[in-house]
Structure 1
Amino acid sequence: MSEKIEIKAYTGPAGGWGSMQGLAEIGIRERSGPETARELGRQNKTGGFMCVSCAWGKPAHPHPAEFCENGAKATAWELTRFRVTPDFFREHSVADLRTWPDHDLEQAGRLTHPMKYDASSDRYVAVSWQEAFTAIGAKLKTCDPTKVVMYASGRASLETSYMFALFARMYGCPNLPDSSNMCHETTSVGLKACIGSPVGTIQLTDYEKCDAIFYFGQNPGVNSPRFLHPLRSCARRGVEIIVFNPLKERGLERFTDPQNPFEMATGRSTQIATQYHQVKAGGDIAALLGMVKHVIHLDDLARETGAPRVVDQAFIDQHTKGYDAVAAFARGIDWATIEHESGLTRAALEGAGAVYARAKAAICVYGMGLTQHVHGITNLQMLVNLMLLRGNVGKPGAGFGPVRGHSNVQGQRTVGITEKPELVPLDQLARQFGFEPPRAKGWDTVAACEAMVKREARAFIGLGGNFARAIPDHRNTEPAWADLDLTVHIATKLNRTHLLPGRSCYLLPCLGRIELDRQKTGSQTVTMEDSFSRIYGSRGRVEPAADTLLSEPAIVGGLAKATLAPNPKVDWDAWVADYGLVRDAIEATYPDQFARFNERLHVPGGFWKGVPAAHRQWMTASGRAEFNVPEVLNATGFDEAAGRMRLVTLRSNDQFNTTIYGYHDRFRGISGTRQVVMMNRADIAAHGLADGDTVDLVGDHGDNGHIRVAGLRVVAYDIPRGCVGAYYPECNPLIPVAHHAKESHVPAAKTVPVRLERAA
């Protein structure tokens, strides 16, 4: 990295000219041609292609430019003019490439040929597709299927995901970890237990009907910038937006709409948050409890005076279970404890609670800041407690709005990418395809990592993603890859995981979603599901980066044919020739959610698969929505100790998950480096440091006590005392594999125990 390092506070809004400059920079960097500008006009629109970045909804009536800065970066990144050909690998050994930064690996360009790792030369060498399929199939036949990891990134289409899951189960492999395991599994487990539905309950149009939004641990300016448009609309019509987040994030403070000529010409912006509470990392349980306590207090006063009730007692009586226990707990907890655990004052929490008490329809938005904690499930339970108090589930303008990351991570789970057998209609699959699927629970992401470290896993097949970089504890997990008998990676670009070859290793390059997918029956459409449980068709039309590329369904079909015995009920070749046949199979497996699938591919705004809790149908054990008394009041899973800090891992403005587009975190004013640690000025002074000093972050609890991430520049930042912020995935080594959410096993990346040491 040769960029100049500059740390300077950014005073502008989200969006605006800064966003336009970011788009121009990525276009120049990727040598974008006219096809990039042309395709941006089709992005997230009916008949066009669905963004390869986040899973935010696609409105039925889109903006002229229905893309954001990061979505445009993702498009330019995929349509780059750079290529990684066999010549590239002749010039660079794998050992050499391992020294490259993450950004430089992907910046090298699109992969063009199927490759096999040659250990004698430490290089990838080109092979034919048939050679690759045959060799991989032969190797898989020698493996115990229960020791194979079949990982799926959240970007692959519904068609590919269904085929991949079916291939795994027909092979006998129950291990289908995915991106959800790393991010939002807490939602799948927590909401499922509380309200019977494992996904959000609102629709995009509910933002037009709400009068309050409560926002926890999600950064729209970086992770879902198109969300800023409905937030702006809500703010302008007087919706109160109450934010809880350790760091001030510019997208939640103010936004200039790049599509509004007046705002662009005048530099005006819209204030987003009406209240902004910098909750201590891991303090959301207590913050939510404070609001619950205040609402119940107001309701008690109303009952004493004969005023209208504050809680919705009719809803509670008809639809819920456990209210009395939660109310008693909230009445009994003292404010000093709540203030200590949350890092917020009683007055602040009562102010937020007062907004909730008078709101007629409230939405709760949240992201990984709420789910990636040891007690993330308790975070979700407290959020549900708050929403149930006033019946804010299953009515217009109210409900839960978890914001997903990868563009189809929710959809993959819908069509069978899961290690949990109870989430898949296995009996239907057995009837439909004439085989007996495995019934045992498989490995999730954490279990897969543990199995690799213990040398129990024997093979890894990755459907996209950068698994080795996304997971915790790199320094313990990375050496385990060399002991795998087989590693296979389906990918568009080179990344760190590809440079950790097993004894046999193949790199299989695929078409991107924006590219024209020609098969025997013509050009194909794929589908995906957004954060609102809506399904969209997506059709690429750009000429492929190379004529040697295969589509993801074609690669999965090729692997399945080479590995499995012929099955007259599964014609992989026919499926690859016509993805409509795959959709017919999906509809047969999931008839309630995918009725008339092929007919509804291009419904404006997508078609809704349905969410029972949105209709107040509670698919819980009790048949009711359930209140829960919290077992703990902070979500960290570790105790306070002298010198111990709570690390929050963060994404920059110039990245999407593990993809690093550049080194310019505009909103945080950090340019030219990612090797920083953001600290409260008082903590800097207490440690005897100064802004600009260099320190190491060292693990400070249990399994990470020996881990060190060295050479981080101290940056004074507005963050609660006792908390520090640093970038993901660079600081993932500090997260022990065992440091994960209870029940959901999501890595607890938002509260990691660390201490600081001055760099040697």
Structure 2
Amino acid sequence: SPDEAAFYTSGKVPNEPAFLFQLFAKQFGTNNLPDCSNMCHESSGAALSPTLGLGKGSVTLNDIHEAEVILIIGQNPGTNHPRMLTALQQAKRNGAKIISVNPLIEAGLNHFKNPQDFMNPLRALGVLLGDGTPITDLFLQVRVDGDMGLLRGIMKHLFEAEDRNPGQVVDRAFIDEFTVGFESFEQNIRNTKWEDIEELSGISRALLLEASNMLATKQKIITCWAMGVTQQRQGVQTIQEIVNLHLLKGAIGKPGAGTCPVRGHSNVQGDRTMGVWEQPTKEFQDSLGKEFNFQPPYEHGYDVVESIKKMYHGELKVYFGLGGNLLAAGPDTEVIAAGMRKQNLTVYVGTKLNRGHLTTGKTSLLLPCFTHADIDMQKAGHQMTSCENSMGVVSQNKGVLVPLPGHDILSEVAILAGSGT
């Protein structure tokens, strides 16, 4: 059965091979398309799509530069997204206030020395002798899994501030025009007891008031989050509270304001846009089938966790991995390895050898491919690929390095196109 195969995708895979890969799997007859999104921002999409109608970020880098207040929740830019520090530095220079929420204080969020400033004669000496740009104005060391309580505490303070200054804090015009269910939401927040908020969040009422005061009169607000939020048991509900905070302030759909789930791999967002998803919509499948003249499967497939379970119990027979290393990225290395060894066939397409490639089924194919830095020259000319970042911006990539001579290495696109013939 086609459903005895799983097709795993890494977020490092560009749009073009990702599209071919999901098409290959669906023409094979299955929606078993586990990918690394299942392990990182799946809860972001699940929270954002039904509330905002957009399962990805709603801001750009320019919005970060323009923001008046930026909340960073469950994310360590200095460790995991270092290029973001440059955008935060620019926001600070433009006058933004930054609230950081994390159980541990991240050094990069305290002060940031931009290496590029050493090339600027007006800043080099200050960077060399000084402490760098202060990033965080207020650091809230929340309890693990306590972000929902923290967000509710901030919003409870905002409602109390609105009571004292009617029409100055809550954006009623925005709420009336663009939202539903506000009355029940307001009642729920007001009925939440302060002692419960402090117990859940680990943050005092006074500190939550300080955070609320930074937001009260502002509308250019951006909230950034990563896996410190998404991998909580109540990650979806917590992200929905982030959305509620933005709707309460009317802080979305305008310059300098919006939601910003910060992703990791270069194209983890693009892969999902290309159709790499175990739960495709009927509309997407209908369009795909019409364009390529085949009957696509409509039954939902297996995500990463379900695929691992099925492999371990011998219910999957074929594993096809496009990039990445599920063995290392997955939640239980030993269970994944045991499942891989039970496969009749494992296929790996990769730019470099990793441990996962050495954990094989009864038959295994290891297909080396070009890196994204290699020149892919075909009859039609110099080939390009594209990636979509966390903010929905699609960028082009063309390799610049001459591939090693004497090796019959193909691009991911060429391998997949050849596999489908």
TM-score by length of structure 2 reads 0.96
Amino acid at match of 2:287: Q
1:314 paired residue among 151, 165, 173: 173
Match runs of 1:144-163 below 5 Å: 144-163=1-20
1:190 aligns with 2:75: no
Query: Which structure has the greater CA radius of gyration?
Result: 1
- The residue matched to 2:420 in structure 1 has which SS? helix
Q: Give 1:293's aligned residue.
A: 156
The amino acid that maps onto 1:292 is M
Counterpart residue number, 1:129: none
How far has the Cα of 1:557 moved from its partner? 1.3
Residues in 1 aligned to 2:283 and 2:308: alpha-carbon distance in whole angstroms: 23
Match of 1:554 among 396, 414, 419: 414
SS at match of 2:54: coil
> The residue matched to 1:213 in structure 2 has which SS?
strand
How far apart are the structure 2 equivalents of 1:385 and 1:537?
A: 35
Matched, 1:216 2:73: yes
Which letter does structure 2 place at the counterpart of 1:157? P
Equivalent positions of 1:630-669 (< 5 A) are: none
Query: Could you tell me which of 342, 363, 375 is aligned with 2:201?
Result: 342
Deviation at 1:481, TM superposition (A): 1.4
Between the aligned residues of both structures, percent identity stands at 40
* 1:227 is the counterpart of 2:84: yes
Give the counterpart letter for 1:285 in structure 2.
Answer: M
- Give the Cα–Cα distance (whole angstroms) in 1 for the partners of residues 370 and 179 of structure 2: 48
Q: Per-residue deviation at 1:267?
A: 4.0
Could you say which residue in structure 2 is the equivalent of 1:376?
A: 235
Tell me the distance in 1 between the aligned counterparts of 2:218 and 2:175.
17
- The residue type paired with residue 375 of structure 2 is L
User: Which residue of the partner structure matches residue 212 of structure 2?
Assistant: 353
CA distance in 2, matches of 1:450, 1:300: 52
Given that 1:186 and 1:376 are in contact with CA atoms closer than 8 Å, whether structure 2 keeps it comes out as yes
1:289-438 equivalent positions in 2, closer than 5 A: 289-303=152-166, 308-422=167-281, 425-438=284-297
Alignment match, 1:243: 100
**3-state DSSP class of the match of 2:8?**
strand
* SS of aligned partner of 1:537: strand
C-alpha distance in 1 between matches for 2:96 and 2:383 = 42
Q: Which residue of 2 aligns with 1:672?
A: none
Task: Structure 1: give runs of 5+ residues left out of the alignment.
Answer: 1-143, 562-760
Task: State the shift of 1:238 in Å.
Answer: 2.0
Aligned-partner Cα distance in 2 for 1:323–1:452: 45
The residue type equivalent to 2:94 in the other structure is R
- Alignment equivalent of 1:480, drawn from 333, 339, 346: 339
Structure 1 position 257 matched with structure 2 position 83: no
Q: Distance in 2 between matches of 1:477 and 1:528?
A: 29
- Residue 203 (structure 1) aligned with residue 63 (structure 2): no
1:336-395 C-alpha deviation (Å, 9 max, x unpaired): 111111111111111111111122310111111110111101111111111111101111
The one-letter amino acid of 1:288's match is: L
Which residue identity is paired with 2:136?
A: A
Equivalent residue runs for 1:497-516 within 5 Å:
497-516=356-375
- Taking the aligned partners of 2:327 and 2:349, their CA distance within structure 1 comes to 14
1:686 maps to which residue?
none
Matches of 1:196 and 1:463, distance apart in 2 = 29
Superposed CA offset, 1:477-536 (max 9, x none) = 321211111100001122221121101111111110011112222221111111110111
Q: CA deviation at 1:423?
A: 6.9
How far is the alpha carbon of 1:195 from its aligned partner?
A: 1.1
Counterpart residue number, 2:139: 276
1:474 positional shift: 2.2
* Residue 112 (structure 1) aligns with: none
Contact map agreement 2:67 2:220 (CA 8 A) in 1: yes
Corresponding residue SS for 2:183: helix
Q: Deviations over 1:195-236 (max 9, x none)?
A: 111111111111232111011011111211111111111112
Specify which structure has the higher proportion of helix: 2
Q: 1:161 offset after TM fit, Å?
A: 0.7
Q: Which letter does structure 2 place at the counterpart of 1:419? A: E
Following the alignment from structure 2 to structure 1, what is the Cα–Cα distance between the partners of residues 73 and 235? 12
One-letter code aligned to 1:383: I
TM-score, normalised by the number of residues in structure 1 = 0.54
Q: Distance in 1 between matches of 2:225 and 2:150?
A: 14
Secondary structure at the aligned position of 1:488 is classed as strand
- 2:294 counterpart letter in structure 1: F
**Distance between the aligned counterparts of 1:429 and 1:259, measured in 2?**
45
CA contact (8 A) 2:327 2:333 kept: yes
Per the TM alignment, residue 326 of structure 1 is displaced from its structure 2 partner at its CA by: 1.7
CA–CA distance in 1 between the matches of 2:295 and 2:57?
32
Contact 2:226/2:262 (8 A) holds in 1: yes
Q: Residues 377 and 516 (structure 1 numbering): CA distance in 2 closer, same or farther, change over 3 Å?
A: same
Alignment partners' CA distance in 2, 1:475 and 1:433: 39
Distance 2:168 2:115 in 1: 44
Alpha-carbon displacement from aligned partner over 1:609-647 (angstroms, at most 9, x marks no partner):
xxxxxxxxxxxxxxxxxxxxxxxxxxxxxxxxxxxxxxx
Matched, 1:164 2:24: no
Q: Is contact 1:416-1:424 (8 Å) kept? A: no
Find the residue that maps to 1:260 and give its secondary structure.
helix
In structure 1, what is the equivalent of residue 129 of structure 2?
266
| 1:324 positional shift | 1.2
User: Matches of residues 565-604 of structure 1 in structure 2 within 5 Å?
Assistant: none
1:496 corresponds, among 355, 362, 373, to 355
Q: 5 Å matches for 1:641-720?
A: none
Q: Is the 8 A contact 2:66 2:94 kept in 1?
A: no
Candidates 391, 395, 400, aligned match of 1:536: 395
Return the letter of the residue paired with 1:198. Answer: G
Partners of 2:313 and 2:215 lie apart in 1 by: 49
Letter of the 2:243 counterpart:
V
- What is the deviation of 1:475? 2.7
CA distance 1:370–1:487, shift in 2 (3 Å) = same
Pair 439,373 (structure 1): closer, same or farther in 2 beyond 3 Å: same
Contact 2:312 2:342 in 1 (8 A): no
2:42 counterpart of 1:179:
no
Aligned residue identity for 1:180: S
CA displacement 1:105-162 (0-9 Å, x = unmatched): xxxxxxxxxxxxxxxxxxxxxxxxxxxxxxxxxxxxxxx2111000110111111111
| Greater displacement, 421-430 / 255-264 | 421-430
**Compared with structure 1, are the counterparts of its residues 412 and 284 closer, same or farther at alpha carbon in structure 2 (3 Å cutoff)?**
same
The alignment of Structure 1 onto Structure 2 pairs a total of residues equal to: 414
Matched residue of 2:371: which SS?
Answer: coil
Structure 1 stretches of 4+ with a deviation exceeding 3 A read none
Q: Which deviates more, 229-238 or 406-415?
A: 229-238
* Alpha carbons 2:112, 2:134 under 8 Å: kept: yes
CA-to-aligned-CA distance 1:653-687 (integer Å, 9 cap, x gap): xxxxxxxxxxxxxxxxxxxxxxxxxxxxxxxxxxx
Q: What is the letter of the counterpart of residue 320 of structure 1?
A: T
